[in-house]
């Protein structure tokens, strides 16, 4: 029995392009062969944000349970059966479903419907990036009762208390709901103190089953927010460009617990881990002091790839960094507010290689100012950097004009046209074209992106056979 049942979708159900399917398999073999620890290794990780919400509710006297459909359906179990049996077992008053990504929206709608059919008195709540940007359409088009906007802990606690005790919820900040067929969006809420939050609720999560699937990979957040203003990213509107961090000791304590629980690799997927160098130095020093064996990777802006900082990271057991290369032309980079200069790219990547930090590099195909020639040049660059072991995990993303981003909220101004409104495909590796640029059709963009993946696959096959 629990008051709140959290549900995370089966991430293996996203429809992806067949070339990407093959890429994922090759990349995993490559990661094993080369001891890579980043995205290539796996993206099946615990839903740390949900675990954080669960821990916060528990600390405040609300009982919770967790249903991660990626794990529960890993061996082909039927999603609906798993869901119903969990509802029977937990008998929850509230079901809180992840609304992080657009590509799981139809899952969210589906789950909400099943819950309501099971018992219409159960309140269905969602939250996360996608839900925050699409609160009106979610409330209008589904059986979801409440959307929690932006940071989740405090509003979810207030709402859960109100629903459990049958009290008024209309004054709670940071939520959206329907009242008499009108959408009510209460005022935004101020952010929580990260150091006052408990560690994510791993006690109630099937962690050892997950580790047996993913080889012992976990996910930790040391900070929230990012000061940059990239126009393709949700973070500026979601986190209001404010960067907040946890105490280094507190983060390393969490890493120590993970090591004891059997984790081998940790992704520290803060939006921008290099925002405060002194903070990173303190974390790395603390990791050395605690003699941790665990290795980790992080997301870093290219401007932070300087030799001394990379050495600090390496000495603190960091072995990988994801960076957004995004485009090859300076004018395209400038048009999306990227802060690095393309002429510095090779130096940055060389610094990382010398320091022993393996690089995951993101390339975005189809930014508004992209033309065909620029994207073809990017394919060549991605191949060259892979050949030269400068970017060992090339991550070619198809551009998605997500709502809540500067571009996604101003399509006309940016000169792009969406040709595919099936949100199941609103992710970075879709089977079909999504959007045009100012100068290339959606089909041309998609074709070049597929071409890049095929070229990468060929290089991976050849490297694996050497």
Q: Which residue stretch of 180-188, 229-237, 360-368, 373-381 sits at the interface with ligand B12 (rule: CB under 6 A)?
A: 229-237
Q: Confirm or reject binding of residue 271 to ligand B12 (CB under 6 A).
A: yes
C-beta closer to ligand B12: residue 107 or 153: 153
Q: Confirm or reject binding of residue 246 to ligand B12 (CB under 6 A).
A: no
C-beta closer to ligand B12: residue 98 or 379: 98
Task: List C-alpha distances in Å: 374 to 70, 155, 324, 364.
Answer: 37, 45, 16, 11
Q: Confirm or reject binding of residue 202 to ligand B12 (CB under 6 A).
A: no
Q: Confirm or reject binding of residue 57 to ligand B12 (CB under 6 A).
A: no
In angstroms, give the least distance from the CB of 462 to ligand B12.
25
Instruction: Choose, by CB under 6 A, the member of 31, 37, 40, 49 that binds ligand B12.
Output: 49
Q: Confirm or reject binding of residue 427 to ligand B12 (CB under 6 A).
A: yes
The H-assigned helical ranges of 320-394 are 330-335, 345-355, 372-387
Phi-psi region of 162 (alpha: psi -120 to 50; beta: other; left: phi over 0): alpha
Q: Which two tokens stand for residue 216?
A: 């012992």
Q: Which two tokens stand for residue 179?
A: 């009242």
Q: Confirm or reject binding of residue 96 to ligand B12 (CB under 6 A).
A: yes
Q: Cβ distance 319 to 37 under 8 Å?
A: yes
Q: Which residue stretch of 24-32, 50-58, 206-214, 443-451 sits at the interface with ligand B12 (rule: CB under 6 A)?
A: 50-58
Between CA 265 and CA 241 the distance in angstroms is 29
In angstroms, give the least distance from the CB of 221 to ligand B12.
5
The residue whose two tokens read 């907040």 is 244
Q: Confirm or reject binding of residue 130 to ligand B12 (CB under 6 A).
A: yes
In angstroms, give the least distance from the CB of 219 to ligand B12.
6
Element (H, E) at 33: helix 18-34
Phi-psi region of 324 (alpha: psi -120 to 50; beta: other; left: phi over 0): beta
Q: Confirm or reject binding of residue 101 to ligand B12 (CB under 6 A).
A: yes
C-beta closer to ligand B12: residue 127 or 374: 127
Instruction: Choose, by CB under 6 A, the member of 138, 235, 283, 336 that binds ligand B12.
Output: 235
C-beta closer to ligand B12: residue 12 or 346: 12
Element (H, E) at 309: helix 307-315
Q: Confirm or reject binding of residue 127 to ligand B12 (CB under 6 A).
A: yes
Instruction: Give, as ranges, the residues between 330 and 389 that touch ligand B12 (CB under 6 A).
Output: none
Rg (CA), the chain: 22
The H-assigned helical ranges of 64-217 are 69-72, 79-90, 105-118, 129-133, 135-141, 153-164, 207-214
Q: Confirm or reject binding of residue 402 to ligand B12 (CB under 6 A).
A: yes
Instruction: Give the CA diameter of the chain.
Output: 66
Q: Cβ distance 159 to 172 under 8 Å?
A: yes
Instruction: Choose, by CB under 6 A, the member of 429, 435, 442, 455 that binds ligand B12.
Output: 429
C-beta closer to ligand B12: residue 311 or 337: 337
Q: Which residue stretch of 27-35, 99-107, 115-123, 329-337 sits at the interface with ligand B12 (rule: CB under 6 A)?
A: 99-107
Q: Confirm or reject binding of residue 428 to ligand B12 (CB under 6 A).
A: yes
For residues 137, 49, 336, 279, the Cα torsion angle rounded to the nearest 10 degrees is 150
Which residues are paired to 362 by β-bridges?
A: 324, 395
Give percent helix, percent strand, percent coil of the chain, each to the nearest 5. 45, 15, 40
Give the phi and the psi of residue 184 in degrees, each rounded to 5. -105, 125
> In 10 A of CB 119, how many CB atoms?
12
Q: Confirm or reject binding of residue 177 to ligand B12 (CB under 6 A).
A: no
Task: Report which of 18, 37, 28 is spatially closest to residue 464, judged by C-alpha positions.
Answer: 28
Q: Confirm or reject binding of residue 301 to ligand B12 (CB under 6 A).
A: no
In angstroms, give the least distance from the CB of 454 to ligand B12.
18
In angstroms, give the least distance from the CB of 208 to ligand B12.
19
Instruction: Choose, by CB under 6 A, the member of 269, 296, 340, 365 that binds ligand B12.
Output: 269
In angstroms, give the least distance from the CB of 108 to ligand B12.
9
Task: Report which of 114, 104, 206 is spatially closest to residue 426, judged by C-alpha positions.
Answer: 104
C-beta closer to ligand B12: residue 299 or 351: 299
Between CA 378 and CA 302 the distance in angstroms is 17
The residue whose two tokens read 């089909």 is 443
Number of residues that bind ligand B12 (CB under 6 A): 42
Q: Confirm or reject binding of residue 11 to ligand B12 (CB under 6 A).
A: yes
Instruction: Give, as ranges, the residues between 145 and 164 that touch ligand B12 (CB under 6 A).
Output: 148, 151-153, 156
> In 10 A of CB 39, how many CB atoms?
19
Q: Confirm or reject binding of residue 128 to ligand B12 (CB under 6 A).
A: yes
Q: Which residue stretch of 25-33, 176-184, 209-217, 423-431 sits at the interface with ligand B12 (rule: CB under 6 A)?
A: 423-431
Q: Which residues bind ligand B12 (CB under 6 A)?
A: 11, 43, 45, 47-50, 52-53, 96-103, 125-130, 148, 151-153, 156, 219, 221, 224, 233-235, 238, 269, 271, 402, 426-429
């Amino acid at each position: 029995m629990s008051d709140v049942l959290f549900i995370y979708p089966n991430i293996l159900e996203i429809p992806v392009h067949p070339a990407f399917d093959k890429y994922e398999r090759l990349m995993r073999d490559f990661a094993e062969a080369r001891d890579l620890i980043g995205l290539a290794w796996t993206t099946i990780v615990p839903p740390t944000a949900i675990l954080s919400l669960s821990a916060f509710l528990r600390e405040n006297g609300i009982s919770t349970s967790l249903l991660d459909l990626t794990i529960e359906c890993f061996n082909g179990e039927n999603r609906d059966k798993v869901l119903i049996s969990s509802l029977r077992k937990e008998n929850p008053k509230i079901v809180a479903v992840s609304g992080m990504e657009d590509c799981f929206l139809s899952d969210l709608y589906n789950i909400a419907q099943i819950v309501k059919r099971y018992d219409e008195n159960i309140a269905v709540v969602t939250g996360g990036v996608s839900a925050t940007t699409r609160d009106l359409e979610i409330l209008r088009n589904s059986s979801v009762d409440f959307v929690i906007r932006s940071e989740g802990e405090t509003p979810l606690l207030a709402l859960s208390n109100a629903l459990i005790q049958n009290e008024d919820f209309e004054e709670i900040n940071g939520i959206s709901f329907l009242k008499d067929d009108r959408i009510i969006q209460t005022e935004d809420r101020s952010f929580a103190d990260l150091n006052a939050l408990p560690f994510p609720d791993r006690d109630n999560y099937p962690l050892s089953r997950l580790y047996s699937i993913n080889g012992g990979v976990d996910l930790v957040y040391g900070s929230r927010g990012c000061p940059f203003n990239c126009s393709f990213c949700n973070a500026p509107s979601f986190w209001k460009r404010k960067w907040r961090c946890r105490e280094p000791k507190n983060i390393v304590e969490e890493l120590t617990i993970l090591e004891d629980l059997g984790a081998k690799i940790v992704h520290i997927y803060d939006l921008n881990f290099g925002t405060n160098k002194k903070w990173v130095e303190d974390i790395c020093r603390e990791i050395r002091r605690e003699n941790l064996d665990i290795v980790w990777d992080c997301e870093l802006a290219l401007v932070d790839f300087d030799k001394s900082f990379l050495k600090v990271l390496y000495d603190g057991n960091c072995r990988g960094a994801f960076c957004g290369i995004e485009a090859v032309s300076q004018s395209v980079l400038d048009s999306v507010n990227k802060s690095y200069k393309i002429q510095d790219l090779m130096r940055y990547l060389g610094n990382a290689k010398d320091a022993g930090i393996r690089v995951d590099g993101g390339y975005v195909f189809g930014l508004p100012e992209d033309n065909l020639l620029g994207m073809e040049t990017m394919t060549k660059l991605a191949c060259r950097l892979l050949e030269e072991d400068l970017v060992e995990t090339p991550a070619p993303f198809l551009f998605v004009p997500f709502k809540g981003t500067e571009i996604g909220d101003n399509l006309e101004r940016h000169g792009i046209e969406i040709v595919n409104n099936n949100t199941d495909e609103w992710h970075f590796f879709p089977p079909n074209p999504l959007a045009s640029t100012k100068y290339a059709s959606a089909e041309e963009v998609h074709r070049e992106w597929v071409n890049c993946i095929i070229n990468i696959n060929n290089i991976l096959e050849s490297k694996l056979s050497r």
